[in-house]
A and B are shown apart, each in its own frame.
Chain A
Amino acid sequence: MLDIKNLQVTVEGKQILKGIDLHVNAGEVHAIMGPNGSGKSTLARALAGHPQYEVSAGEATFDGKDLLDLDPDERAREGVFMAFQYPVEIAGVNNAYFLKAAVNAKRKHQGLPELDAMEFMQLIKEKSKLLDIDQSMLSRAVNEGFSGGEKKRNEIFQMALLEPRLAILDETDSGLDIDALKLVAAGVNAMRHPDRAIIVVTHYQRLLDYIVPDYVHVLTGGRIVKSGGKELALELEKKGYGWIESGAQPVGA
Chain B
Amino acid sequence: MAQVVEKLQPWLAAIERRPHGGPRWLQDLRDRGAARFAALGFPTVRDEEWRFTNISPIANAEFVPATEAAPVTSHSLRGVAYSDVPNRIVVLNGRFASQLSRVNGLANGVRVGSLAAAVTEHADVVPRYLGQLADFGTKAFTALNTALSVDGLYVHIADGVVLDEPLHLLFVTTSADLPQPIMSNVRTLVVVGDRCQVRIVESYVGPDGGAYFTNAVTEIFAGDGAVVDHYKVQQESLDAFHVASMHVHAARNANVSSHSFSLGGKIARNDVGALLDGEGAECTLNGLYLADGDRLVDNHTTIDHAKAHCPSHEIYKGILGGKARAVFNGKIVVRQDAQKTDAKQTNRALLLSDHASINTKPQLEIFADDVKCTHGAAIGQLDEDAIFYLRARGLTYFEARDMMIHAFAGEILDRVKVEPLRVALEGELYAQLAKDLAEIDAA
Residues of A within 8 A of B (CB): 48-51, 71-73, 75-77, 81-82, 84, 87-93, 98, 101-102, 105-106, 109, 141-142, 158, 162
Contacts and interface: CB of A to CB of B under 8 A. Distances in A.
B316 to A, nearest CB: 15
B411 to A, nearest CB: 5
A82 B397 contact: no
A92 B411 contact: yes
Contact of B391 (A73, A90, A141): A73
A77 B394 contact: yes
B388 interface: yes
Nearest to A48: B392
B382 to A, nearest CB: 11
A92 B393 contact: no
B399 interface: yes
Interface residues of B, number: 23
Interface of B: 383-386, 388-397, 399-400, 403-404, 406-408, 410-411
Which of A72, A82, A89, A106 gathers the greatest number of chain B CB atoms within 10 Å? A72
B384 A51 contact: yes
Nearest to A90: B386
The prevalent SS among residues of B at the interface is helix
Given A72-B388, A88-B389, A92-B408, A98 B394 contact: no
A98 B391 contact: no
Contacts of B391: 49, 71-73, 76
A93 B382 CA distance: 13
B389 A76 contact: no
11 contacts: A49-B391, A76-B391, A84-B389, A88-B386, A90-B386, A90-B390, A91-B411, A93-B407, A98-B393, A102-B395, A142-B389
Contacts of A106: 394
A92 B399 CA distance: 15
Given A93-B407, A101-B395, 6 more contacts: A71-B391, A73-B391, A76-B394, A102-B390, A102-B394, A105-B395
Contacts of A87: 389
Contacts of A49: 391-392
A248 B406 CA distance: 56
A84 B395 CA distance: 16
Contacts of A98: 390, 393, 403
Nearest to B409: A92
B349 to A, nearest CB: 15
Contacts of A72: 388, 391-392
A26 B210 CA distance: 64
Nearest to B403: A93
Contacts of A101: 395, 399, 403
Contact of B388 (A50, A91, A105, A141): A50
Contacts of B386: 88-90
Contact of B404 (A51, A71, A93): A93
A88 B382 CA distance: 13
A158 B394 CA distance: 11
Nearest to B389: A88
Given A93-B407, A101-B399, A105-B399, A88 B393 contact: no
B388 A90 contact: no
A243 B306 CA distance: 71
Q: Which of B384, B391, B399 has the most CB of A within 10 A?
A: B391
Contacts of B397: 71, 73
Contacts of A71: 391, 396-397
B337 to A, nearest CB: 37
B231 to A, nearest CB: 20
A90 B404 contact: yes
Contacts of B400: 73
Contacts of B399: 101, 105
Interface hub of B384, B404, B407, B411 (most chain A Cβ within 10 A): B407
Given A48-B392, A82-B392, A162-B393, A88 B385 contact: yes
A77 B394 CA distance: 5
Contacts of A162: 393-394
Nearest to B407: A92
Contacts of A76: 391-394
A92 B390 CA distance: 13
A73 B407 CA distance: 20
Given A92-B410, A93-B404, A101-B399, A109 B392 contact: no
Contacts of B385: 88
